Amino acid sequence: MKKNYTQASRRRDRLAELLIRICGLFVIVAVVWILVMITRVALPLFYSPKATSIASISLPVELKQSRLLSIGIDETQQELFSLDGKGLVHFIDTRGGTLKESVPVPDPPPGARTVVSAELVSKSLYNLLWDTGVVSSVKIAFSSTRSESGNTIVSHEVSADPEGFFPGSGAFKRSFVRTIEGKGAVRVDQLESDRIRVTWRSKETDLFGNEKATTSSSEIQDPLPAAITAVVLDHAGHYLYAGTRNGQLMRWDISEPGEIRLLDSTAVTGNSPVTALNLVLGDISVAVGDGKGGYTAWFPVTAAGSGEGKQLVRTHVLRPHTGTVSAILPSPRDKSLVSVNDQGVIHIDHVTSERNLLTLKGAKPVAMLALSAQGNSLCSLDTAGNFAVWRLEIPHPEVSLGTLFGKVWYEGYDRPEYVWQSSAANDDFEPKMSLVPLIFGTLKATAFAMLFAVPLALLGALYTSQFMAPRLKSRIKPAVEIMAAIPSVVVGFLAGLWLAPLIDKVVLAFFLSFIIIPVMLLVTIFFWRLIKTASPLERRLRGKEFIVLIPIVLVGTWLAYLLGGIVEVQVFGGDFKQWLYSVLGIRYDQRNSMIIAVALGFAVIPLIFTIAEDALSNVPRNLTAASLALGASRWQTAWRVVLPSALPGVFSAVMIGFGRAVGETMIVLMATGNTPIMSGSIFNGLRSLSANIAVEIPEASLNGSLYRVLFLSAVLLFIFTFIINTVAEALRQRFRRKYGRY
């Protein structure tokens, strides 16, 4: 023998063994890796937000004496600015705390010398109220560019916004100006006397293109319950909110020039003064902070039984502060709020999810707060004249276990609900990501499909394994296996574009067939007994009974079709769906749960059938022989001997079918309208977890909240099917061990 060759083949053997073992291991690694991978993407949803302190600097000496009105910060935490009463914007380097440049506000109104107050209107636009009573607007913007060497260079720009100019005279506590696109502007002044005056300037263009401006003004006449402590006006200039010392929140509609309508006057804090008031991004919710630290959000809701009118309702309670809430600042990016109390404790909360995202503690009470335009830098100026700058990392403020699985009260809704609506056309839209309607849809689709599939598949399997002639069985089984290979996209297509319109036309016939076909079968069974006496026919058909039944099923379907037409005309006035809607108030969707039941059921039948049939066939023949020899009929044998023995296998078949139905995507995608509604009606559509992933993931931006939530739903699907499959496999293994056959 060749020694070298033997040596070589021995080496090869060892190498192969190693490789093969690695490969085997790799299977486990692959499965675990899939889970780890998708979980890793989903997990950051639940990471706690982070605030990194970037700088803590004191006010440059040049500014120590200035009266500061407002501050701001750039995206990269490199530069901040402060606006003083002389109308100078001072840009300060956060790294050294040095004053870089002081820029005067361009085009100050003639005669005006000092700025009384500054109000942040939107991202970088400020309303300045001058000592003459004139309001002007200024834009203080940062922009950053990447240099050749990779550093970020921040530049700033201060520009006037002539649109925001609104003349006026007198002394005011605060003034707000809102320009209304193409229509003019509205100005709200809080007078020294605490009264509120609204001034409208409307611009009209006549047929010849000449502009005509009219100005009108009126004061709020409604009696105020107490002194006004906070005022806020929305961006569109439609609604004006004011909080009072005794805790009332008032809301006026000022959208029509010359008309001021009081909409609400609600006690919001329980007698404690409203100390901070601001609108959440989107201008629907208003956040209220009170003197005792209470911190809530309100928006108008159609009150039960009150008809058209909407009332402010407390929709969210945020984590309370320990002392008076002194300021609330909305995030320019989402429904988050930054708030601070009189001790300098800063809270960052998300209104909708009611999550307290961050709590930052400063040493001194905070005088001013600012967020950058993208909301990821936070800057505070304390009463001692120290700036603190943080970088915020809050990737998914709107997601929490509560919003994913609980009811959430979204803006515009009348009550807390489970909603899935991930995107819409407008910018300040809030994604609503509750997984509950999707889980409900998944389970509903699965339940209906199983209801349809399990009896058919199991009875069919019982027949095939126990009663069918062996020669026929060897043909039918492969046929069902081929049926299992029919791609789900084909089933889905037919369900959506063939079956759904068909059933749409013959809904009644569809229901009637569930009665007529069994009745026809009963009749056949009755006559079968008469045929049985004609022994040659009976013998020839033994094990092939189902062939006789195929025409019966077809005839039954046809009869149901005929009867359906008649019943629809006679009983339901010719249109069953119309009747359904007008009498029972049930809406009929063309792609509804019945279609899903049939289509998804059709897809899982072969799977359940094959596994159940295997289990039933694997019950040793000698068991059945023993039973038959004792004089049991073939049904008694199948029912009392075979079925109990094969029960674990049959059960695992159902489980595996269930797992498949839960995860099936294309059929559900194509055969339903994909509406994420929670309705138990069989006439409505649904949206399942898996179809939802397929629909939404092409739109989801990498590592965004939606992207991660979709990964989370994939994790849920994985874990769910993992459990089902493992249990089913364990059952099947036990069954195999019991009968020792593979």
Partner 1 sequence: MTVPTHNPASPILTVKDLDLFYGAKQALKKINISMQRNQVTAFIGPSGCGKSTLLRCFNRMNDLIDNVRVEGSISFEDQEIYAASTDVITLRRRIGMVFQQSNPFPKSIYENIVYGLRIAGVNDKSLLDETVERSLRSAAIWDEVKDRLHDSALGLSGGQAQRICIARAIAVNPEIILMDEPCSALDPISTLKIEELIDELKRKYTIIIVTHNMQQAARVSDVTGFFYLGELIEAGPTRKIFTNPEKTQTEDYITGRFG
Partner 2 sequence: MKQYWKTGEPLVMLTGAALAVILVMTLTLVGVVLTNGLGYFWPSHLVRLELKDGSTALGQIMKREKNPLTGEHRLQLKVSNRDLYGQDFRWIDEKDVTGRSLPKDALLLERREHGNFAGFLSGLSVDGLKVDQATSPLEKLKLARAAIEERQPHLDNIRKKMMTLNQQAESMRLKLLKLEYRNREQHAAEIARLTATREQVLAEFNVLNGQATTAQAEIGGFTAQFKDVSGGAKDIPLVDIMRILAPNDMSIPAKMLAYASRVKELLLDEPRESNTEGGLFPAIFGTVMMVLVMSFFSLPFGVIAAIYLREYARDGLMTRMVRIAVNNLAGVPSIVYGVFGLGFFVYGIGGSIDAIFFPERLPTPTFGTGGILWSSLTLALLTVPVVIVATEESLASIPRGLREGSLALGATKFQTLTRVLLPMATPGIMTGLILSMARAVGEVAPLMVVGVVKLAPSLPFDTTFPFFHMDRKFMHLGFHIYDVGFQSPNVEAAKPMVYITTLLLLGIVIVASSMAIYFRTRMRKRYTSSHF
Binding-site string for partner 2 from residue 20 to residue 49, where x marks contact by CB under 8 A and - marks none: xx-xxxxxx-xxxxx--xx--x--------
Chosen from partner 2, partner 1, none, partner binding at 620 (C-beta under 5 to 8 Å by type) = none
Asked if 211 contacts 205 with a C-beta cutoff of 8 angstroms, the reply is yes
Q: Does 286 bind partner 2 (CB under 8 A)?
A: no
DSSP state of 630: T
The DSSP H or E segment spanning 24 is helix 3-42
Q: Does 620 bind partner 2 (CB under 8 A)?
A: no
CA atoms within 13 A on the CB side of 242: 27
Rounded Cα–Cα distance for residues 33 and 26 (Å): 10
Residue number, 14 or 415, with CB nearest to partner 1? 14
| CB burial of residue 7 (10 Å; 0-12, 13-18, 19+) | exposed
Which of 574, 620, 644, 680 touches partner 2 by CB under 8 A? Answer: 574
CA atoms within 13 A on the CB side of 83: 30
Chosen from partner 1, partner 2, none, partner binding at 117 (C-beta under 5 to 8 Å by type) = none
Closest CA to 526 of 508, 502, 552, 547: 552
Q: Does 665 bind partner 2 (CB under 8 A)?
A: yes
Residue number, 5 or 208, with CB nearest to partner 1? 5
Binders of partner 2 among residues 208 to 247 (CB under 8 A) are: none
Binding residues for partner 1, how many (CB under 8 A)?
8
Residue number, 2 or 737, with CB nearest to partner 1? 2
Coil, strand or helix: which one is 619?
coil
Asked if 652 contacts 732 with a C-beta cutoff of 8 angstroms, the reply is yes
Rounded Cα–Cα distance for residues 453 and 598 (Å): 8
Q: What are the Cα distances from residue 390, in Å, to 12, 361, 397, 498, 544?
A: 62, 12, 17, 59, 80
Rounded Cα–Cα distance for residues 306 and 247 (Å): 24
Place of tokens 């629809």: 568
Q: Does 2 bind partner 1 (CB under 8 A)?
A: yes
| Smallest separation, CB 160 to partner 2 (Å) | 36
Which of 413, 511, 639, 739 touches partner 2 by CB under 8 A? Answer: 639
The sheet that has 50-58: what strands, in order across it? 50-58, 386-393, 377-382, 366-371
Binding-site string for partner 2 from residue 463 to residue 492, where x marks contact by CB under 8 A and - marks none: xx--xx-----x-x-xxxxxx-xxxxxxxx
Written as one letter, the residue type at 132 is T
Which of 460, 649, 676, 685 touches partner 2 by CB under 8 A? Answer: 460
Residue number, 2 or 621, with CB nearest to partner 1? 2
DSSP state of 584: I
| Smallest separation, CB 41 to partner 2 (Å) | 5
Which of 1, 61, 530, 702 touches partner 1 by CB under 8 A? Answer: 1
The vertex-443 CA angle with 441 and 448, nearest 5°, equals: 95
Binders of partner 1 among residues 493 to 522 (CB under 8 A) are: none
Binders of partner 1 among residues 5 to 64 (CB under 8 A) are: 5-6, 8-10
Which of 3, 64, 529, 737 touches partner 2 by CB under 8 A? Answer: 529
Chosen from partner 1, partner 2, none, partner binding at 4 (C-beta under 5 to 8 Å by type) = partner 1
Which of 164, 291, 362, 496 touches partner 2 by CB under 8 A? Answer: 496
Residue number, 3 or 540, with CB nearest to partner 1? 3
Rounded Cα–Cα distance for residues 627 and 647 (Å): 17
Structure tokens at 134: 């004139």
| Smallest separation, CB 557 to partner 2 (Å) | 8
Binders of partner 2 among residues 670 to 689 (CB under 8 A) are: 670
Binders of partner 2 among residues 530 to 569 (CB under 8 A) are: 532, 545-547, 549-550, 552-554, 557, 564-565, 568-569
Chosen from partner 1, partner 2, none, partner binding at 311 (C-beta under 5 to 8 Å by type) = none
Asked if 389 contacts 96 with a C-beta cutoff of 8 angstroms, the reply is no
